[in-house]
Amino acid sequence: MKTFPTVLIVVLDLTAAFAAIAPVLEVCNRNDPALAQCILGVVDKIRPNIASGDFGGNWTAPPLDPLRIDGIDIDQGSSFTTKLWNITINGVSGFVIRRFQVDLPNMMLNASVKIPSTLVTGMYHLNMNILLLRLAGEGPFNLTLNNTIVNLKIKFYLVPKDGKNYVRFHPIGMNIKFNDARFYLKNLFNGEPTLEAIGNQAINANPYVLLDEVEPALVGKLTSTMTEIANAVVAGSDIDELLPP
């Protein structure tokens, strides 16, 4: 969860080179020995644009912050079923880049980022066993994530057309490490206050029991969303426009 996020950042780093297309972006030369540092400087400057998805003129991409996901459904039979919908993730644009590498010969970008604080809200329906409790409920939920680490592998390829080589991105590789997570599910046990509190305490005694179940579906949604954002940002752009020699 962390949005999450980082993927778009690196992508926008690459797009920093085509200011003629996106007015807020600045150019980094592909032969600059400090190319990675140049890209990171551009990313920091355009952080508000990354969050909003507005890069000037008519050049737009889906917003990163807040990031919205329509729904996630998980059905493992009687032991675990959950449905999450109307999911909103806030805080992704507060990412801090820990490591960033540019490998142009192999058309690859690698990044590791930390997201200090993320708030995930939405609606849930849940049936699961945890410890000796059978947890069931439906209603609003929130999930607070602190110091989440997101590692990204972003590979691009070129599509030749009319004498140009247009940039496109493969599905982005992503893995997430949740370092600190806390759930609050309203209306557990039909909202009976004492049982609701006990249920949430049981979940937060080891929140990864629930989070680990949701993570694969969440990462899948984030990966597809981030890949869509990446390709929207570079749509119609030649490699020499993005990273001039």
> Please, which residues have CB within 8 angstroms of residue 82's CB and are 6 or more apart in sequence?
72, 73, 74, 124, 125, 126, 127, 128, 213, 214
pLDDT at residue 22, rounded to an integer: 65
Flag whether pLDDT at 36 surpasses 70.
yes
Q: Does residue 161 lie in a domain region?
A: yes
Q: Does residue 61 lie in a domain region?
A: yes
Q: Does residue 1 lie in a domain region?
A: no
* Dist CA 31 CA 196 (whole Å): 59
Domain count, the chain: 1
CATH number at residue 156: 3.15.10.30
Q: Does residue 218 lie in a domain region?
A: yes
Flag whether pLDDT at 16 surpasses 60.
no
pLDDT at residue 224, rounded to an integer: 82
Q: Does residue 53 lie in a domain region?
A: yes
Q: Does residue 111 lie in a domain region?
A: yes
Q: How far is CA 161 from the centre of its chain?
A: 31
Q: Which domain holds residue 16?
A: 6-242
Q: Does residue 217 lie in a domain region?
A: yes
Using pLDDT thresholds of 50, 70 and 90, give the confidence band for residue 8: very low
In this predicted model, what pLDDT tens digit does every residue of 118-165 receive, in sequence order? 999 999 999 888 767 788 899 999 999 999 999 999 999 999 988 888
Q: Specify whether the backbone of 163 is left (phi greater than 0), alpha (psi in -120 to 50) or beta.
A: left
**CB 40 within 8 Å of CB 28:** no
Q: Which two tokens stand for residue 100?
A: 């960033």
Q: Does residue 125 lie in a domain region?
A: yes
pTM score of the predicted model: 0.80
